[in-house]
Structure formats: structure tokens, C-alpha cells
Amino acid sequence: MPPVVHPGDEIQIELNIESHADTPVDFIALVFEGVEIASGHIDGNQHRRTRRVVHREWRLREKGTLTAGPHQHRVQLTVPSDAPASYLGVRIEVRYEVRLHVSIPWWPDLQETYELLVEPHPARRPPPKPQTATSVRTANAFIELSLTDTAFAPGDEITGAFAVGNAIKVAELGVEISLVAIEHARTDSEVRRAEQFRYMLPGVLQPLRGGGEVAFHFRVPKEAVASFASPWCKLEWSVHAALTGPWGTTAATDVPVHIDRYNLPHEATRARAEVGAARWRRTWAELGARFGLTLRDKGFTLDGSRGDVQIEVALDQSDDETAMVATLRYPSLELGLRAAPQFLVVLPHALELLLPGHKVECRDLAQGLAFFDPKLLGALRAFKTMRVDDARTFVRQPGPAHIPSGITVFLDMTVALAETLVEAISHIPPPAALHGALPQWRAFAAATGAHLAVGGMKLTAAAVEGGVFDIATLFGPKGELAGTRIDFPIDPPLTLRAAPDGSESFASASGADELAVALRASVRELAVRPHALTVDLADPVLDPADLRPRLAEMLLLVRRLRGERSPGPYR
């Protein structure tokens, strides 16, 4: 009898019986039996049930006398083609036996049992099938696993790589790689899972900071049992990657694999799907492109814009949990605005009632209320954390930053906020005292190519007579109008020289002093610095076009300070 057979095999059994004397017998029988046995504890009691896979019996001799000497019998049996492989598990056992029974009257019977080991036929090896898995579900640390193939025979080499994400303290973490077999046993009305085998890769691997890949390889043990399924049992294998820390296993993931006997040797291949930072960056780039955002060359930052609002979306791992953050920058609103989280706000004003849990500063509440309209408030409340000031809005949302669905939701909220900001900025009215002057300021801005911040009635980069000027309305401590400031940036800067008394003055041609004295006499304050000429007027300006003569004087003074006689552009 062969030691190992396969489903569908025909087996020739030779039975040799040696009788030392004439011996009466009732019968000589040979039994071939295969059974699947399920056992387990239910309500504290051991239960056992059996399913026959095969049962064949042959009567080799009926009642009579077995004469002295050798007796030979031949039996041919067939292993069923659907017979599961021999298996000894936690709750399931599959066993095949050939039993000999010689019944001897008035004497102990001769009974012998021979185990028959059934193994699966060598299967056709499938083409390589790379596979990946990830444990990412939330903003907590997670692990990703990639294998070059999922079909292996005992002795084959398994190669792959892992990467760890959302990990704040990578140095405290380790990764354990195991080949695990799970038994699924059907007992009565339920399926019970039990770990049957675990082969661990020696040592604990160290993950890399920033989601870098760590490669590994190991061989399937020669004694590994093949994957199989029967009416009562299923044995499934997987490569298991566990992320461990000071407090035990932090995250884990599995790639299912199939262990079998194959007709061809395993082809070594290094092709597999990327995991870690390279894959995450590709995901960010693809999803960002849907919203018109571009991924930077390094890291996880997307850039784009909606109107005058510049959008920057980034991955934030500076806290205990991973989050996505966005910074939306825009030309200054000139509202004296600052809204930031604060646990307790005493006697909140109208804006603070609209933004509970935030301390809000704004020079003019009416302008602030116009800016924080219901649509903008709704867009801001979609985020867990938000800060708003004159130049930027910052929002933060904890959550998985490596799952396409999570990234998409955040980008959708951020772009909606940017578009709402563009609209909200356009609704900001001028200060009440200058409401009637808005058409003139807008006309001057259009004529000079300047940017107008209506909230503070400030013009930036107004091109006049070859010079570029900033014109800003000044406000007092209570928000009242307090004058006008004109800045003329100078580039390249003026050169200072030391006077005999140790003071400093500007090198200049004749006539500059007279121009400076005349200009100073007509304004509240004149300041000449290497990089800028600044003039403060006592009164607010209703029409910036009325300032053209003043701007020409400032331009001429700078030319004289340079010793120039002909006009030229300055900035």
C-alpha cells in the first residue's frame, strides 16, 4: 500500500496473512474508510459528530478454517475524486484508514489499522498575482502590505514590502510578519474560527519615517498544509503584518494567499504594487487634479486657487492624530479681523454669537456681519477647527488622509469654502463714512490697475505717472476715520550718507531739500526712508483722483533725491 495517495487514485492493496497453525475464523474483512470529524465544546460538554467521506468493505473470507501457512489477498480501491486531504486541526479532523479484521471464535480477534495519507494532486500554477492590503480606516496609525504573488507551494519564497502611515513616533513601533492559517469549522449552526498554524518571520522589522517601503522575504515551511475546503471545514492562509508599539498591536492587515502543491516551480518576480508614500502621493495627485489642484514635488501639499483666493491643502501629523489642513490666502480684507478658538468668551458680541467658541475681533461689526453671511458660516462649520483673519483662513479636519473617500470629502469642503470666500469678500461694504465714495475709489482702481480692499478703503499698487503707490485710509482706536497714508516704495533703495555732526541724510542733487520742505508743509507727516517715501494726510480721501498732484510731488522728490532730472519709473 503506498504511503501517500491522491483523490481519484486507484490503489492496489496486497494483504499477506501468515497463520502458524490451522485457525478457525468467522470471517476476514478489509475496510477502507474516510471520515471528517467535528468536535467541540457546547455548554461545557464535549460534542463530536462524524461525516463519512468514503466507506468500502470487502469480505476476503467467510467462516471456515485458515490453514497454516501464508495467505495472500489483493484488493483494488479508489479514492473519491472529491475527497478532502488528510487533516488534523483544532476542531476538524479528516482521516483515511484501511482496517483489517480477522474474527476468531473464542479468541481475541486480529484487528490492524493502517493510515492512508491523502494529499491533493499537484495543481496548475496560476500566473503571478500581486496583491496589496491596508488597515487604514481612521486617522490612527496604519500599515500597508504588498506581495508579489498570492499562490505558493511549501518551500516557495514569499516576497513583499510594507509601509506605515499616520505614525507620529515611528521609532517606538515595530512590524511583525507572519504566515498564518485559519481554520473555519462548521459546527451545528455556526462557523468557528481558530488559528491552526503561524510561522513568524524572525525578528521585528523597523518601519521607515514618512511612509517609506520596507522589503522582506521568507520561505513557506516544507510542512505547511495545503489550503482546502470541505463540507465542514475550510483552511485559509494569509500573510499577516502587525504594527506593534509600547501598548501592543496598534494595527494589522492581511493578504490572503493560497498554499498548494503545484506542477511548476515558482517563478521569482519582483513586480508588485507600490505601498506607502509613493502610492499615497499618486492618490493625492489624482484626486487633487479633479479639483484643479496640483501636488508639489515633495510631501503632501496641494496648491490651487479660486479667484483671488489661493488654496493650500496639506497633511498634518503634528498632533496626536492625523488631519488634513487647508490654508486659504487672499488680499488683505483690511477689517482688523481676527477669529480664533477660545474656550470661554465673556459677554459675546454679535459676531461671537455667530461663531460660538471663538473670540472675534473686527474694527466694524457691520462689515464683519456682512462678511460672515450664512453661506460662509455654513462652509466654515463643516470643519472641526477654523481660524480667520484679514489675510487668510485656516481649517483643520481630523480623519484618514490616505483614503480616497476621506481626501475627496476634505477637498470638496475646502474648494467650496474658497468659492464661498470669494463671494463673501465681494459683499464686504466700505466703512459707513465712506460709503458714498466707493464709486470714485473703484474708478481710480480701474484706471491705475490697483487692487481695492473695500473693507479698509485701501489701494495697493496704483500706477500713476510712472510710479507705483499704495493709498490707505487710516482709522483711530475706535474705528473712526483718522486720515490717509500714501506709500511710495523705492527700488533700488536710496543711499544714506553720514554728515559731519554724525547724523545721516540722503545723497541728493540740489532742489531736493526745497521740495521736501514744501511737501512737508502741506501734509501731516512726511517720512523718507531708504525703501519708501511715506506721506500722512490729516483727512480721509473721498476721491483718490484728487491725489494725483500729491503723487507727482512725491515722485519728483524721489527723483531729486537720486540726483535725476528726467522722469523714470520707481517701485
Is the confidence at residue 75, as pLDDT, over 60?
Answer: yes
pLDDT at 509: 54
Cα separations in angstroms, 306 against 293, 296, 416, 449? 10, 18, 10, 20
pLDDT at 210: 84
pLDDT in tens, 230-247: 888 999 999 999 999 888
Provide the pLDDT confidence category of residue 44 given band limits of 50, 70 and 90.
low
CA distance 113 to 109: 13
Helix (H, G, I), strand (E, B), or coil: what is residue 166? coil
pLDDT at 321: 73
pLDDT in tens, 473-530: 999 999 999 999 999 999 888 876 655 554 445 555 557 788 888 899 999 999 999 9
How many alpha carbons fall within 13 Å on the CB side of residue 280?
A: 28
CA distance 193 to 234: 10
Output the CA angle 112-114-117, nearest 5 degrees.
170
State mean pLDDT over 155-178.
Answer: 90
CB 270 within 8 A of CB 159: yes
State mean pLDDT over 560-568.
Answer: 69
Q: Domain 131-273 class?
A: mainly beta
DSSP 56-102: EEEEEE-SEEE-SEEEEEEEEEE--TTPPPPEE-SSEEEEEEEEEEE
pLDDT at 266: 85
pLDDT at 374: 96
Which of 3-7, 97-101, 213-217, 236-240 shows the lowest mean pLDDT across its residues? 3-7
pTM here is 0.78
Reported residue count of the chain is: 571
Task: Choose which CATH entry (3.40.718.10, 3.40.50.10380, 2.60.40.640, 2.40.50.100) describes domain 4-118.
Answer: 2.60.40.640
Average pLDDT, the chain: 90
pLDDT at 217: 93
Q: For the chain, what are the domain ranges?
A: 4-118, 131-273, 280-426, 432-561
* In this structure, CATH architecture of domain 280-426: 2-Layer Sandwich (3.30)
Which of 230, 215, 176, 216 is CA-nearest to residue 198? 176
Helix (H) or strand (E) holding 352: helix 350-354
Provide the pLDDT confidence category of residue 571 given band limits of 50, 70 and 90.
very low
State mean pLDDT over 441-447.
Answer: 97
pLDDT in tens, 290-338: 999 999 999 999 999 999 999 999 998 775 678 899 999 999 999 999 9
CA distance 134 to 448: 57
- Angle at which helices 512-521 and 548-561 pack, to 10 degrees? 150
CA distance 192 to 171: 38
Alpha helices in 382-500 (DSSP H): 404-426, 438-448
The pair phi, psi for residue 201, each rounded to 5°, is -65, 125
Is the confidence at residue 415, as pLDDT, over 90?
Answer: yes
State mean pLDDT over 100-122.
Answer: 92
Cα separations in angstroms, 183 against 56, 197, 257, 377? 29, 9, 14, 55
CB 185 within 8 A of CB 233: yes
Whether omega before 2 lies within 30 degrees of 0, making that bond cis, reads: no
Do the domains spanning 4-118 and 280-426 agree at the CATH topology level? no
Residue 137 Rama label (left phi>0; alpha psi -120 to 50; beta): alpha
